Chain A
Amino acid sequence: MPRISPVETTVTIELDGDQLQAREGEPVACAILANDQLIFSRSAKYHRPRGPFCMTGACAHCLMRVDGIPNVATCRVPVKAGMRLERQNALPDARIDLLRANDFVFRDWFNHHEFMAGWPIAEHVLLKIARQLSGLGVLPEKAAEHRQPAIIEEHELVVVGAGAAGLAAVRQLTTRGVPHVLFERDPHVGGRLTSGAEKGQPAPWNAPARVGAEVVGLFADDGKPFLAVVEQERLHLVFYQRLLLTVGGHAMLPTFPNNDLPGVMAGRAVSTLIRRHGVLPGKRVACVGELDEARSLAELVKGAGGEAIAIGAEVVRAHGLRSVNAVTVKPNEKLGCDIIATCGPPSPAFELARCAGAEVVWNPSSRCFEVVADNRGQTANPALFVAGEMRGPMSSSAAAEQGLAAADALAGAAR
C-alpha cells in the first residue's frame, strides 16, 4: 500500500469502472498511485504506456477523461467524491492496448513524412487509419455551460509563483510597505520548500497569496500588459504596472531508453508525493541523477518506509514492458526497482518572461535556456523582474536571495 500512513476518511472515485478509495482534495493522480496503479494513459503514436512524470501539469503522461472532459491533467485536479475517470486513447483498454503493436512495428521511430508516401491505394488506407488513430480524448458529450464573465483587475505590482523566490520577495515587499498581489497555481504556497528534496533547505514560511490561481497567459493587447489567470473556475484579466515572475521551471525528462515508462518520475514529483501527499509510489526507488538531490530524496524515501537504491547514479536504460521493473546504471549494473526518480534541476520556465519582452538565451554551462536579467532581476523590459530557477539552476536559498534583491529593487523604485 503506497500510503505512508493510513487515511482516516476516504471517498470513492471510479476509474474505468473500478471503485477506488481516495482522500478528498488530494490530486487525482496521487489517489490513483495510492491505489497501486501506474498506467494512466497511452501515448499518441506508439501507444506506449504512461504514468505520472512531473506532477506539475507540465507533461502529458497523466492525462485522463475526468467527468466527461477529455485530456485533463490528473495531477492538477483535486479528488471529489463520485468522480468518474477514464483512461483514453487505447483499444480495448489502456492496461492492455492492442495498438501497442505500433511500438513494435516501428522499432526506432515512424517516418510519417515518407511512410507509404505516394503509394497508390496504400496511401488512402494509411490516411483512413491515421485519421482514426489520431487525437487523444473524445469531444465532451454535453454542451458546456457559459462561464461567469471574466473579472478585470488592476494592480501596481504582481508577483507570480510562491516558491522560495516569490515568498522571499513578498516578505520583503510587505516589510517595505509595497502593495502587491501574489498568485500561486498550487493550492498552497511553498513550491520547492514544501515539496522538494534539497540539501540544507531553509524551513518554509508563509505569506498571504491567492492560491489555486493559475496564470495561463501573458498578453499585451493595445500595448497594455496583463495576465490571464484562472481562479476558482473563473477567468481574471489582471493588469499590472510591474511584474515579478518567480515561476521556477519544468521537470526535464533525461534521455535514455524507456525514459517514458510508467515509474520513471521526476525527482521532485516523488518528493512532492511523499512530502505533500503522504504517498510513496513504489517500494524500491532508484534515486538517480544529481547527487545532492538524490541523497536528500533517498532520505525521504527511507523515512517513508521505502528502499532507496542507485543513489546519484547515471542511468543507462530503464527496463520493463508495462512499467519499470529494473534500471541499468553506469558502468553496467542492472538493479530491480519500481520507481526511477530522476533528480536534477528543472528547465527554466521562460515562457511568460519571453512573452513580456525579456531576452532568453542558451547557457552553455547549465545547458538550459535562461531568462536574462541583471543582478537585481530586471530584464530587457524594465517593468519585468525575474528571480529564482527561471534564471537557471540554483538552490532555494539562492532563489530566495534573488527574490529579496528583486523586491528591494522594486521597493526602491516605488519610493
Chain B
Amino acid sequence: MSKSLLCPCEDVTSSEVEHAISKGFCDIESVKRFTGFGTGMCQGKQCLNAVARLLEEKSPKKPTPAQLMPFTPRPPLFPTEYGYWASASFDPERAPSGGVPAGIELGPDSLRPAGPVKSKAKIVIIGGGIMGLALAWNLTEQGETDVVVIEKGYLCAGASGRNGGGIRAQWGTPTLISLAQRSIELMKRFARDMSINVWFRQGGYLFLAKSDEVVKKIERGAALHNQHGVPTQIITADAAREIVPQLTMKGVRAAAWNPKDAVIFPWPFMWGYAQQAQKRGVQVETFTDVKGFELSSGKITKVITDRGEIACETVVLAAGAWSPEIAKLAGVHLPNEPHRHEICSSEPLKPFLGPLVSVLDSGLYFSQSMRGEIVGGMGDPREGAALNLGSTSRFLTRYSQALTEQLPQTGRVKILRQWSGPYDVTPDNSPILGKTPKLENLLQMSGFVGHGFMMAPAVAERMAKWMATGESDELFERFTLSRFAEGRMEREDMIIG
C-alpha cells in the first residue's frame, strides 16, 4: 500500500503519528514512546525532523519553537559492537560520576500546560509513574474518582519508563513473593482490563550463581519459593544451557530457574492506567511540578504546584526516586536515596533468548524484548547517591565484558542506545508505605529500589482498598516510615541490576 513513512526503521507512518497527536501526545518524547518512532537502527537521524514538522503542522495547540525539543540524544552515535566497548577498561574501585548528555530535563518549563490545575480534589497523587497511576485507577475501582495525579514530566519520564520490564516471583521474603505473584496475575490480564497490549511474555527467569555464597542464597530462595507455590528449581550449569544453548556458563556453579517469571513492555502500563482512570474522572496533569505544601495542624491542606494550588484531604507521595525531594517540601525526611542504574539495548535480532538471564554475583541481567533487542544492565556497586540520569562509557564496558563472557556471540552485535533511570533505594531495600508520622494525611508509596514496576499493580490494589475502606492491612503497618526510627528493618536481599 502507498504508505507515507516517517520512521522507516520502525515502520511508523505519518497517519500513525497523527493518531498519536489526536490522542493528546503532543511533545516529541511522548510521541516517540507512543509510536516507537526514532527507536530503531538509525535512532532518529532520518525521522526526528520530519516528526517535529508534522507536530508543528498538526498539533491542535500549535507548539511554540521552544516547545519543540528533540528527544534526548544518547550514546552511541552509531550502532557499535559490544566487542568494542568490552575492549576498554575501567577501574572497579573508583566510584563512577559524570555522564552525558549534560542537563537532562524531564519536565521543561516550556511544556507546562497553560491552564490552572483544579483547585480542589479529595486525593492528590504526586508522581505519574506506574505507582501513582495504578493507585489512581484502583481508587476508581473503589468508587473514588475525585483524584488528581501530578507528574513533573511526560508519562514514562521517570523510572517506570526506563526499566527493563522484568517481572519475577523469585524474591527473598514471603511478602514480596506474594505481591509479585499477584502482580503477575494482574499483568497477565492487563490487556483485557485496560484495552492496551503490554506484550506479557512468560519466558522465565534464569538466575546464575558463581560463588558458594550465592549458590546457598538461591538454594534458600528456592526452598522459600516452593513453600509459597513458586516452582523455582535449582539446576546445574548444563541444564541451564539446555534453556539457553548460547550461554557459556563460565564460572557458573548452579542456577535458579522459574519458568513462570516474565517480561513485559513497560510503557503501555502508564498509558493504560492513565487512560482508564481519566475515563472515570481522574485528572492526570503532566509537565506539572509540585512546589510546596500548605500545612495546618499536622495535616497537608493544599498542594502547591506551578499551575496553582489544590486543596485536598489526602496526599499520596509516589514520586519514586524524586520522593525525598518532595517530602522535604513538607518538612518530612525520607531515608531513600536515588542511585543511577544504567541500561542499554541492542539492535533487533530474531528471537533466540527465552528467559531473562541474570548473574546474581555481578548484577548482570539481560533479556530479549518483543522487538528483538537484547535489553540489559548491570548495577554498579560503586554508584553513589545522586539524581544523575547521564550515560557513561564505563557502564558500556562493564556490561559488555560481562555479557560477552556469558554470551560470546554478542561480541559482534551492536548496541543501539543506552540510557539510565534511578533506583529508589531504602536502607533495608524494602518499600515505604502508609502513614507519615506527624503528618497524618500524607501517605507514602515509594522506596521500591529497582522493583517498583513489577510490584505496582498488586501494591496499588491493596493501597486503594486500604485507603477507601480503612480496613487494616499489614503492608501499611510493616513498611511504614516510622520503622527506621524504631530500628525495625525489613531486609530484602534479592536485588539485581
Whether A253 pairs with B84 at a CB distance below 8 angstroms is no
Segment from B94-102, B120-128, B285-293, B314-322 that makes contact with A = B94-102
The residue from B2, B65, B74 contacting A362, defined by CB atoms under 8 A apart: B65
Name the residue in A61, A114, A115, A228 with the highest tally of chain B Cβ atoms < 10 Å from its Cβ. A228
Cα distance, A71 to B81, chains bound together (Å): 11
Whether B65 pairs with A361 at a CB distance below 8 angstroms is yes
Question: Within 8 Å of chain B (Cβ to Cβ): is A326?
Answer: no
Cα distance, A368 to B9, chains bound together (Å): 20
Q: What 0/1 readout, one digit per residue, does chain B (240-276) give for beta carbons within 8 Å of chain A?
A: 0000001000000000000000000000100100000
The residue from A70, A132, A216, A250 contacting B46, defined by CB atoms under 8 A apart: A250
Whether B414 pairs with A220 at a CB distance below 8 angstroms is no
Q: A44-B9, A60-B42, A71-B41 are in contact. Are A235 and B76 (CB under 8 A)?
A: no
Whether A113 pairs with B352 at a CB distance below 8 angstroms is no
Residues of chain A contacted by B413 (CB below 8 angstroms):
70, 139-140
CB under 8 Å from chain A, chain B span 68-125: 68-70, 73-81, 83-89, 94, 96-103
Name the residue in B2, B103, B349 with the highest tally of chain A Cβ atoms < 10 Å from its Cβ. B2
Whether B347 pairs with A71 at a CB distance below 8 angstroms is yes
Segment from B13-21, B231-239, B470-478 that makes contact with A = B13-21
Question: Within 8 Å of chain A (Cβ to Cβ): is B226?
Answer: no
Cα distance, A46 to B88, chains bound together (Å): 39
Q: How many residues of B contact A (CB 8 A)?
A: 97
Q: What 0/1 readout, one digit per residue, does chain B (36-47) give for beta carbons within 8 Å of chain A?
A: 100011100111
Nearest CB of B to A389, in Å: 13
Question: Within 8 Å of chain A (Cβ to Cβ): is B489?
Answer: no
Whether B3 pairs with A258 at a CB distance below 8 angstroms is yes
Question: Within 8 Å of chain B (Cβ to Cβ): is A405?
Answer: no
Question: Within 8 Å of chain B (Cβ to Cβ): is A145?
Answer: yes
Cα distance, A129 to B457, chains bound together (Å): 27
CB under 8 Å from chain A, chain B span 181-200: 189, 191-197, 199-200
Question: Within 8 Å of chain A (Cβ to Cβ): is B142?
Answer: no
Cα distance, A60 to B348, chains bound together (Å): 12
Segment from A20-28, A268-276, A283-291, A348-356 that makes contact with B = A348-356
Segment from A100-108, A201-209, A297-305 that makes contact with B = A100-108
Q: A123-B191, A357-B102 are in contact. Are A135 and B351 (CB under 8 A)?
A: yes
Q: What 0/1 readout, one digit per residue, does chain B (384-407) give for beta carbons within 8 Å of chain A?
A: 000000111110000000001000
Name the CB-closest residue of B to A320. Answer: B2
Q: A139-B352, A140-B409 are in contact. Are A109 and B87 (CB under 8 A)?
A: no
Nearest CB of B to A224, in Å: 7
Segment from B52-60, B161-169, B172-180, B216-224 that makes contact with A = B52-60
Question: Within 8 Å of chain B (Cβ to Cβ): is A57?
Answer: yes
Whether B88 pairs with A237 at a CB distance below 8 angstroms is yes
Whether B8 pairs with A362 at a CB distance below 8 angstroms is no
Whether A109 pairs with B73 at a CB distance below 8 angstroms is no
Nearest CB of B to A300, in Å: 23
Name the CB-closest residue of B to A365. Answer: B65
Q: A61-B8, A230-B84 are in contact. Are A139 and B101 (CB under 8 A)?
A: no
Question: Within 8 Å of chain A (Cβ to Cβ): is B412?
Answer: yes
The residue from B50, B65, B66, B404 contacting A144, defined by CB atoms under 8 A apart: B404
Whether B192 pairs with A219 at a CB distance below 8 angstroms is no
Whether A109 pairs with B19 at a CB distance below 8 angstroms is yes
Nearest CB of A to B410, in Å: 7
Q: What 0/1 readout, one digit per residue, does chain A (356-387) give for beta carbons within 8 Å of chain B?
A: 11001111100111000000000001000000
Whether A221 pairs with B101 at a CB distance below 8 angstroms is no
Nearest CB of B to A306, in Å: 25
Q: What 0/1 readout, one digit per residue, does chain A (66-90) give for beta carbons within 8 Å of chain B?
A: 0001110000000000000000000
Whether B41 pairs with A60 at a CB distance below 8 angstroms is yes
The residue from A143, A149, A222 contacting B89, defined by CB atoms under 8 A apart: A149
Cα distance, A321 to B409, chains bound together (Å): 37
Question: Within 8 Å of chain B (Cβ to Cβ): is A9?
Answer: no
Question: Within 8 Å of chain A (Cβ to Cβ): is B332?
Answer: no
Q: A59-B45, A69-B412, A257-B4 are in contact. Are A108 and B13 (CB under 8 A)?
A: yes
Q: A117-B197, A132-B351 are in contact. Are A58 and B101 (CB under 8 A)?
A: no
The residue from A69, A109, A368 contacting B16, defined by CB atoms under 8 A apart: A109
Question: Within 8 Å of chain A (Cβ to Cβ): is B439?
Answer: no
CB under 8 Å from chain A, chain B span 130-170: none
Whether B49 pairs with A347 at a CB distance below 8 angstroms is yes
Cα distance, A254 to B19, chains bound together (Å): 19
Question: Within 8 Å of chain B (Cβ to Cβ): is A5?
Answer: no
Residues of chain A contacted by B48 (CB below 8 angstroms):
347, 369
Name the residue in B77, B201, B246, B271 with the highest tally of chain A Cβ atoms < 10 Å from its Cβ. B77
Question: Within 8 Å of chain B (Cβ to Cβ): is A412?
Answer: no
Q: A150-B89, A228-B76, A357-B101 are in contact. Are A136 and B372 (CB under 8 A)?
A: yes
Nearest CB of A to B169, in Å: 20
Residues of chain B contacted by A150 (CB below 8 angstroms):
84, 87-89
The residue from B46, B79, B201, B268 contacting A251, defined by CB atoms under 8 A apart: B46
Question: Within 8 Å of chain A (Cβ to Cβ): is B483?
Answer: no
Cα distance, A223 to B11, chains bound together (Å): 38
Nearest CB of B to A49, in Å: 11
Q: A127-B201, A255-B4 are in contact. Are A135 and B88 (CB under 8 A)?
A: no
Residues of chain B contacted by A217 (CB below 8 angstroms):
75-77, 80, 393
Per CB-CB distance, the 8 closest pairs between chain A and chain B, nearest first, are: A144-B411, A135-B372, A118-B192, A143-B408, A217-B75, A60-B41, A362-B68, A257-B2
Sampled A-B contacts (25; CB under 8 Å): A48-B11, A71-B348, A136-B347, A136-B350, A138-B350, A139-B410, A140-B409, A140-B412, A142-B409, A144-B81, A144-B412, A149-B87, A214-B78, A216-B76, A217-B77, A217-B393, A220-B390, A223-B98, A228-B393, A230-B80, A235-B85, A255-B54, A259-B4, A357-B103, A363-B65
